[in-house]
Structure 1
């Protein structure tokens, strides 16, 4: 029997009603794996390939044939926006079969949740934080809610793999299974998995089952990619710089200056040749837009003006890498509208905006006739369907290939090809700038991300072998808050058997418990049992405890009765703030209730929501170096970007930046370009400061992570001596704790302050610093 024939009648009707001519590859593969085995399943396929339906068609067929006695499937999504989007899609699918679909997060009404509690059934959609809240606060109802749980579907599983949140998700599934006595199958969904076998093992951890990763044949797709570069002020990189070094023939592919090159991409199975052979690449100039004239406000940023021109009369997404940048860009784009006497055609979307503003923007974008554009952060990177998008813009480069692919995949729905326009911006290098400061690092990074996927289909592998002591602390308190008094042995059994803590020793756990007992986070009863202490109660009773990702102290911003969003570090009354793409003057600050009352005004000021972090893989840095070394052009580069790259290659060739990792900047000043990812770069930086500084006479070491570091070296130390000393110290390094500064307590995760300093130092040294990669690179130098 074929997969379609196996589907329930209401699903077959759904397919007919939507005029699908056949099932997609991912839907056939998912049906065969879910119907035909009892294993876990990891579905990896292109964005907008129908992965959600692929997973739920077989699940809902089973529910139609044999209705579960409780919630039968949990859908875990990384964001509330994605859950809201999938809720409407699944509700439409399940309506005829009368299979209930529920969602549960902070913006869902209490009445909706109450109905679920009375009659648990069907499919429940939530975030990891909401599942944590249910296990902790509704412990007595968990058995009734989930006694017949059969499936856990984890959407955008890649987004949960690089930090504590993914570990929390895995712990929650294991805790729930233990509490209720169920063994649900796990179904992972993602468009961007770098190591499917490793992720499959992660998905199956602690279950005794294997994970099937179906090989899915996908048709070739066309990518439309453009990459342009702008200096924020002054003249742009001149066309004359496209000429290569004397005696070499320039290799510039002529493409439309206004429209991006159209690149025919091979299927997901056949990788691109890594030698730069682009015989399978088809360059098709697109018809240029008709840019409006005289659109720029005074002192305008030409890169933002370029975005303004090319979003006109189109429905687009404009991605930024931080909430601050999203606010700034949206403010400037709205100023362009005002300058040109146009209605405001720009929306904004990020995690610090109120739910009403975010959901309103999502709803407006779902209208296919809309010609609005939305400025967003990663909140719209994931699989939210915002209708037919014509273009995505990316300001500067994202941190990962995975992020690039996700953002690219927001467009290209409704059978149109995905289309991404990169806009790289930088300040003009000063005349006296050091050589490495004149390199366009973001432009190189963007090229590297695109080329790595074109040439190798490479995507970052998950980081699954950390020492997550902050999460260990969180789960210890969560389990005690949920289950009440436990003996030390029972608590250790509950916590240390969770698969994510496989590297945590019994001695480490005893160290944590002693620390918590001393500070009253945990209290020992007269009978020897352990319960949450008074200090611990203050931690676990805060609604923000459910989340393991770091949060700032946030102030709610209100204008009259409307909630605008949240800010950190609010200014005093009379000052201005930027949020929701507008500027507001602060009328009153209520520090006790964390409220900010504002009134909208005109103008422009910087926004601030907290630090923006991102880590870059070593493979990306290595490809950036190759981009400086090679001479072949990239067909998607536009005029300014081609000229800026040619300029950077000329500087790199003259200065030897790509040939040698250590470059003299004149006198005793040196530059080190290790081409290492963020965590290996950090390990090398510490090796130099802690182990090598005295012998090499290093002073004034200054890092531009993860690209380069500059320092002064003793006059008698030459390049060979540098390599010899660094290689010897790296080889002699046996204990990672030696790279921790005296008295340093490197707190990064949310609950590090509740962890003994000894464990924090150990977790950073052994679980964060990439010492192995650093040692391999130094050995290559020697």
Structure 2
């Protein structure tokens, strides 16, 4: 029997109605794995390949033959927008078989949720945060809701593999299954997975099953990719023309009011339906307001929407509705919120302002286009401040342009995508799941609490001793209270935290920090850097003296310097393989057919600057006198490790001063020693067997994750030193 014949009649009718001539390869492979085995399944196929149908056609067929007595399938989606989109699609599919489809997240009415609790059935679509809330607040009805749970489908599983949110999802699945006494099969869906076998093991943790990863032969797809470069246009006093006050156009003419890169986007979205991706919410706001202002200056109808996580649900849904309407030729400026699988209709092209930080994001964003028989199309718009010819060498390198080329080439040449990061020391998540478990279960003995939490597979690297240290600290600070009988419950301080709706999520909200010197407030930033790091604000460079996390204040002092400094920690998580490919771009003259005129010219200029330097072998360059530039070409976490080894273990020996860095690209410093001595001492220190805690600065408390501030300082330092910093890649860097 073919997979099509195995489908229920109403599924076959759905396929006929939609005029599908045949099943796609992913649907055949997934159907075979789901129908004919009892294993977990990881379905990896390109965007718009029909992965959702591949999973649900067999599931609802099985349900129609033997209807579950509770919710039979949970669909976990990373975004509300994705759940809303899939809710409509699944409803149409399941209506005829009388299989209810429910959705549950913060924007869903309570009346809808109460109906599910009263009559648990069918398919439940939910976010990790809403599942957390359900486990905490509805623990008494979990067995009723999920007593016959047979499948858990995790959509866009790649988006959950590089931080605490993925760990939270895995913990929630394990806790739910224990509470309901079930062991459902898990099905992961993704278009962009690096190291699928590793992800398959992650998916299977605690199930006693293996994971089938069907081999799906992908057809050779054509892309339309272009990369163009622009210098940011500045006025006499240095401000970007897009930021000038209204009225400038009357003084300088309308054309002078247009920033070239934004004008390029403005002109090439006209009469088309496009997505414009930026790498931050703040940048999205600037881009949208600028493009809308251009429409106003030219007396054209407004045609730009905005979509990101900090705007209201109503505005997000308006943008989604407009994008789904094929008759409305509008474009939406967005962050990662429209990167994932929501179907927003016939998109002609996507724009990417600067480069994304991962190959995965590039593929996901380009994959938003190319639906309905159109090729995927991505236009990179690389923006760079114009620098003087005599500026220091590292500033003259077009880092964003190199990054864009490297991301494209890594996939074109090797089909490479970033692997997951699953071996961290997630103490922040440990706090979160400990408090959530206490909230849902009530009083527990310390031993019972440890058995419930430490046996969750994601915490495999955390010892019982570390857990005891955390519990003692939380009792001392009244996050947890010890009862007269020796049990543990949530304490008064803990109640303030767990009773907030913000507790359900493990990702940090964007809380602004006020930046001050001894005289005045300079402005605000979102991610405060560690003490000793530099930031650029109010047109000057400052060194951070103190970070007061309770008052959300950063205190600093002015220093000289013209090397750009990033706000907070790293601007993005770049993999070493991306940096190494960027290095090759800089030192090899070859044709990249997608580079447009300005981008090609800018790359050739950069290559000419390095033509007399052996970039593939040399990493340390003299900038004149005692000033040096070090470019190690390693990923973000290895770069941070190397930076700390230099500052904490090598600086005195080498006579290093005035140290500055632009993570993860280069470090600039003054040094009394020469090149050979630098390499010799750095090699010795990197290969020494030292405690990674030695790479924590004096008085530094590296708070990076959401709940770090509630943890004992020794665990915060250990989590950062042994779970974030990475020495493996740099041990043989100088061989």
Please report the TM-score for the alignment, with normalisation by the length of structure 1.
0.84
Select the residue among 690, 707, 715 that pairs with 1:734. Answer: 690
Quote the offset at 1:299 in angstroms.
3.3
Whole-angstrom CA distance in 2 between matches of 1:710 and 1:230: 26
The 1:553–1:721 alpha-carbon spacing in structure 2 relative to 1, beyond 3 Å, is closer
Whole-angstrom CA distance in 1 between matches of 2:233 and 2:482: 64
Quote the offset at 1:234 in angstroms.
7.4
Question: After superposition, what is the alpha-carbon deviation per residue over 1:223-279, rounded to whole angstroms, capped at 9, x for unaligned?
Answer: 0001000111279xxxxxxxxxxxxxxxxxxxxxxxxxxxxxxxxxxxxxxxxxxxx
Q: Which has the higher contact order (CA 8 A, sep 6+)?
A: 1
* Matched residue SS, 2:730: helix
Aligned to 1:37: 37
Whole-angstrom CA distance in 1 between matches of 2:382 and 2:278: 11
The 1:295–1:505 alpha-carbon spacing in structure 2 relative to 1, beyond 3 Å, is farther
Whole-angstrom CA distance in 1 between matches of 2:457 and 2:599: 47
Aligned to 1:332: 290
* Matched residue SS, 2:256: coil
Aligned to 2:266: 308
Aligned to 1:549: 507
Whole-angstrom CA distance in 2 between matches of 1:220 and 1:769: 39
Aligned to 1:220: 220
Question: After superposition, what is the alpha-carbon deviation per residue over 1:438-482, rounded to whole angstroms, capped at 9, x for unaligned?
Answer: 111000000000000000000000000000000001000000000
Counterpart check, 1:319 vs 2:309: no
Quote the offset at 1:612 in angstroms.
8.7
Select the residue among 289, 295, 298 that pairs with 2:256. Answer: 298
Select the residue among 413, 430, 440 that pairs with 2:371. Answer: 413
Question: After superposition, what is the alpha-carbon deviation per residue over 1:661-694, rounded to whole angstroms, capped at 9, x for unaligned?
Answer: 0000000000000001100000000000000000
Quote the offset at 1:196 in angstroms.
0.1
Alignment of 1:194-209 (within 5 A): 194-209=194-209
Alignment of 1:768-779 (within 5 A): 768-777=724-733
Aligned to 1:135: 135
Aligned to 2:533: none
Conserved in 2, the CA contact under 8 Å of 1:657 and 1:673? no
Aligned to 1:641: 599
Please report the TM-score for the alignment, with normalisation by the length of structure 2.
0.89
Conserved in 1, the CA contact under 8 Å of 2:570 and 2:663? no
Q: How many residues align?
A: 669
Whole-angstrom CA distance in 1 between matches of 2:56 and 2:503: 31
Whole-angstrom CA distance in 2 between matches of 1:650 and 1:211: 50
Quote the offset at 1:750 in angstroms.
0.5
The 1:295–1:78 alpha-carbon spacing in structure 2 relative to 1, beyond 3 Å, is farther
Structure 1 stretches of 4+ with a deviation exceeding 3 A read 294-299, 552-555, 609-613, 654-659
Conserved in 2, the CA contact under 8 Å of 1:297 and 1:339? no
Conserved in 1, the CA contact under 8 Å of 2:228 and 2:596? yes
Quote the offset at 1:611 in angstroms.
8.8
Conserved in 2, the CA contact under 8 Å of 1:295 and 1:336? no
Aligned to 1:767: 723
Aligned to 1:71: 71
Whole-angstrom CA distance in 1 between matches of 2:575 and 2:200: 21
Whole-angstrom CA distance in 1 between matches of 2:253 and 2:40: 55
Select the residue among 669, 685, 690 that pairs with 2:627. Answer: 669
Structure 1 gaps of 5+ residues are: 236-293, 556-566, 570-608
Alignment of 1:354-433 (within 5 A): 354-433=312-391
Structure 2 gaps of 5+ residues are: 236-251, 514-523, 527-566
Whole-angstrom CA distance in 1 between matches of 2:400 and 2:628: 22
Counterpart check, 1:23 vs 2:23: yes
Conserved in 2, the CA contact under 8 Å of 1:628 and 1:658? no
Question: After superposition, what is the alpha-carbon deviation per residue over 1:601-651, rounded to whole angstroms, capped at 9, x for unaligned?
Answer: xxxxxxxx9999521000000000000011111000000000000001011
Whole-angstrom CA distance in 2 between matches of 1:468 and 1:611: 18
The 1:742–1:568 alpha-carbon spacing in structure 2 relative to 1, beyond 3 Å, is closer
The 1:118–1:449 alpha-carbon spacing in structure 2 relative to 1, beyond 3 Å, is same
Aligned to 1:455: 413
Conserved in 2, the CA contact under 8 Å of 1:322 and 1:612? no
Whole-angstrom CA distance in 1 between matches of 2:24 and 2:413: 26
Question: After superposition, what is the alpha-carbon deviation per residue over 1:120-141, rounded to whole angstroms, capped at 9, x for unaligned?
Answer: 1111001000000000011111
* Matched residue SS, 1:424: strand
Aligned to 1:144: 144
Conserved in 2, the CA contact under 8 Å of 1:295 and 1:305? no
* Matched residue SS, 1:58: helix
* Matched residue SS, 1:229: strand
Conserved in 1, the CA contact under 8 Å of 2:570 and 2:636? no
Quote the offset at 1:776 in angstroms.
2.8
Whole-angstrom CA distance in 2 between matches of 1:346 and 1:302: 18
The 1:11–1:611 alpha-carbon spacing in structure 2 relative to 1, beyond 3 Å, is farther
Conserved in 1, the CA contact under 8 Å of 2:139 and 2:440? yes
Deviates more, 1:650-659 or 1:212-221: 650-659
